[in-house]
Amino acid sequence: MNKDRRLGWKDVQNHIHTHIQNCTYRPGDQLPRDEDLAKELGCGRSTVHRAMRSLADLGLVERRRRGGTTVKIDPVTRATIDIAITRLEIEARGYLYTHHIVQQKTILPHPSIAARFNATNLGQLLYIRSLHLADGRPYVCEDRWIVLDTVPEIKGVDLEQISANEWLVRNRPYSRCDVQIYATPATVEEAELMQTNGREALLALERTTWIGEAPITHVRAIHTPAYRLKPRG
């Protein structure tokens, strides 16, 4: 490790991760105490604590109160899926981006949508079906529900000028996100919108986000058959 600068938590995380990968720390081994690692690496104890929390979140170590930190015997490898701004994703691939709203209305949600939010008595939600296009060809079709009690200001946004996807990513940070990914046959309407023959399996990605306990949005996004999802490892 470079002793000429004070280490950040990511440096400490990478240091410990490397030792796990090269079997310096083996599955089931107990790691040194946070204060001992801090002294060894020349950093603050809080820095080590933050690095350990991140390694625990990644499924590599297990933290126990008064029991120290051990390398997990069966480590879990997790990937991270970013919520991308679709316009930027399309433009990064060299295509011209456009989008249009197929349907927009304020209605009471179906019970299945309320269940996604683990909530009842949500009141009326903003429902938007929108189509994102790359060089004029369908790229993503979104069915989105937005909780107006949590995001009241979106009622004043022209969602034809800026998509709900882009506005929410830029203006409504979330603290929790549930994601489901699966292959699905398109409905008749989805096949027409996506210009498929209806026999191809499409990638569906469903996301539900919250800020604290307050639900923000639920979206079901159907992607073109050629779409490839690239998680971060």
Query: What are 132-149's pLDDT values in tens digits?
Result: 999 999 999 999 999 999
Q: What is the dihedral of CA 204, 226, 189, 172, to 10 degrees?
A: 50
Residues 51-107 pLDDT 10s: 998 888 878 899 888 778 999 887 666 656 678 899 999 999 999 999 999 999 999
> How many CB atoms neighbour CB 98 within 10 A?
14
- Residue ranges of the chain assigned to CATH 1.10.10.10: 9-71
pLDDT given for residue 87 in this prediction: 95
Answer whether 7's CB lies under 8 Å from 42's CB: yes
The CATH code belonging to domain 9-71 is: 1.10.10.10
pLDDT given for residue 118 in this prediction: 87
Residues 185-230 pLDDT 10s: 888 898 899 998 878 889 999 999 998 889 999 999 999 887 877 6
Answer whether 164's CB lies under 8 Å from 140's CB: no
pLDDT given for residue 168 in this prediction: 95
Please report, for residues 137, 152, 206, the alpha-carbon distance to residue 183 in angstroms, rounded to integers and kept in the order given. 21, 33, 11
Question: Distance between CA atoms of 222 and 151, rounded to whole angstroms?
Answer: 24
- H/E element, 47: helix 45-57
- Residue ranges of the chain assigned to CATH 3.40.1410.10: 86-223
pLDDT given for residue 96 in this prediction: 97
pLDDT given for residue 78 in this prediction: 60
Considering the four listed CATH numbers 3.40.50.300, 3.40.50.620, 3.40.50.720, 3.40.1410.10, the one that applies to the domain covering 86-223 is 3.40.1410.10
Using DSSP, state whether 1 is helix, strand or coil: coil
Please report, for residues 6, 25, 107, 116, 190, the alpha-carbon distance to residue 210 in angstroms, rounded to integers and kept in the order given. 35, 37, 20, 11, 27
Residue 124 has pLDDT above 90, yes or no: yes
Given pLDDT bands bounded at 50, 70 and 90, which one contains residue 5? low
Residue 3 has pLDDT above 60, yes or no: no
Q: Which residue has the higher pLDDT, 13 or 101?
A: 101
pLDDT given for residue 154 in this prediction: 96
Mean pLDDT of 28-39: 92
> What's the predicted TM-score (pTM) here?
0.68
